[in-house]
Structure 1
Amino acid sequence: MHPSAALLLWLAAVVAVQYLDYPGLLAAVLLLLVPGVGAAWAGFVRRARWLLLTLWLILAYNTPGEAWADQAWAPTYEGLAEASLHAVRLVVMLGCLAWLFVRLGRDGLLAGLWGLLAPLRRLGLDSERLVVRLALVLERLQQPQEKGAWRRILVGEPDFAGGPQTIRLAGAVWAGRDSLLVAVAAVLLTVAVLA
């Protein structure tokens, strides 16, 4: 699969997840259960646990409806349903992201972005800088940071030493199956949005 096709498939899946209910989300989870994705997915969910809890609490308590167990302090039944559905959607989106990173890796992600931004280069926009900056950010994120490094960045004293001098992108050839895959993803996205 071409890296740009994988990025388009990921984008279609992320948009489609927003329109799915529990049966569709279960189908998406089953599609994401491929070797190597589970560990990355669990890591993403673990790192996003506070975001998930905060999102769930905000939606559960701020959605109008009938209070759970007729208690004034309790969230509403509608809020509980809405919060749970959105939390599951976010978990499935994290699974899609885990699939993308396992499938492409850092270099494949950059090559896919490079391929998707090719039409912008023909229009005169400098998409190469975006890809180079993303490569540098991803490289920096993989290096362990010392405690309190974020404070130096905020006051304008970042340490930029140690970045790569050359960035290599492995090119792939777009095949007919990539076009077919993107077309199927577009059809499934349209079905999910319109259903």
Structure 2
Amino acid sequence: MPDFHPATRLIVWGVLVVLVQSARGPLLWGFGLFIGVVAFVFASRRAWVLVRRIRYLLLALLVLFGFFTPGEAVLPALGQAGPSVEGLALALTHAWRLLAVVLLVAILLEFSNEALLVSGIATLARPLTFFGVCSERLAVRLLLVFRYAEASPPGGWRALLVARSHLSDEVLVLQRVAMAWWDWVAVGTVIMLGVWGIFR
């Protein structure tokens, strides 16, 4: 089995995220269930950590959509103070999409180490250098987002506000690897599937 370039893995991951957001009805639920099974089989520890970190966001989705969307009351005795059928349906749909994306992040982090992620992001961001954007710096910043989604930095989020902290002493090695022919085949296939999934 060919070892895919980090940029290829990120493109596949991005297309899967887009498909999750564009899927509707049974396709969304089936796709999300498949992602969940893969995540909890191959990346169970990361999956549980990330799901735990978004538990309050999931609760907020339930409250905002369930209780503030007009429609048929689930509990007629509560009247307008209770949740609506349409609101709960919207809440479950958006929560399912969020869970699927978070589990895709868990899968990506499980099979790609930090050096690979930085290399892939830097490769994809290379065209931005024409606009004065440093692709390596952008890659490192995005990597820190992935890292702190999984584990808080020592000292909590307030440590990120300190001008000079231990973070400035970290060294990340950027590996530059050329994309092979199978990477281009995989990227083309996934992009075509993504376009078909969005505009079908």
TM-score > 0.5 by shorter chain:
yes
1:56 paired with 2:65, answer: no
Per the alignment, residue 75 of structure 1 pairs with: 83
Residue 119 (structure 1) aligned with residue 119 (structure 2): no
1:169 aligns to what?
Answer: 174
Aligned counterparts of 1:93 and 1:105: Cα–Cα separation in 2 = 19
Q: What number of residue pairs does the alignment pair up?
A: 191
**CA separation of 1:144/1:177 partners in 2, compared to 1, >3 Å: closer, same or farther?**
same
Does 2:108 match 1:100?
A: yes
1:111–1:53 distance in 2 versus 1, CA, 3 Å:
same
Letter in 2 for 1:187: M
Aligned to 1:13: 16
Q: Does 1:27 align with 2:31?
A: yes
Uncovered stretches (5+) of structure 1, i.e. residues with no partner: none
1:134-180 residue CA offsets vs partner (Å, 9 max, x unmatched)? 56777788675237x72x765xx555146446431123331222112
CA distance in 2, matches of 1:143, 1:69: 40
> Please, what TM-score do these two structures have when normalized by structure 2?
0.80
How does the TM-score come out when normalised to structure 1? 0.82
- Do the aligned residues in 2 keep the contact of 1:67 with 1:75 (CA within 8 Å)? yes
Residue in structure 1 matched with residue 198 of structure 2 by the alignment: 193
Residue 145 in 1 paired to residue 154 in 2? yes
CA distance in structure 1 between the aligned counterparts of 2:133 and 2:163, rounded to whole angstroms? 28
Q: Distance in 2 between matches of 1:9 and 1:23?
A: 22
The 2-side partners of 1:42 and 1:22 are apart by 25
| Structure 1 consecutive aligned stretches of length 4 or more whose deviation exceeds 4 Å | 132-144
CA distance in 1, matches of 2:160, 2:129: 32
Residue 11 of structure 2 aligns with an amino acid whose one-letter code is: L
1:180: which partner in 2? 185
Structure 2: which 5+ runs fail to align? Answer: none
Distance 1:192 1:84, change over 3 A: same
1:110-129 deviation per Cα after TM superposition (whole angstroms, max 9, x unaligned): 11111101222245433233
How far off its partner does 1:42 sit? 1.7
> Secondary structure of the equivalent of 1:67?
coil
Q: Secondary structure at the match of 2:165?
A: coil
Identity in percent: 30
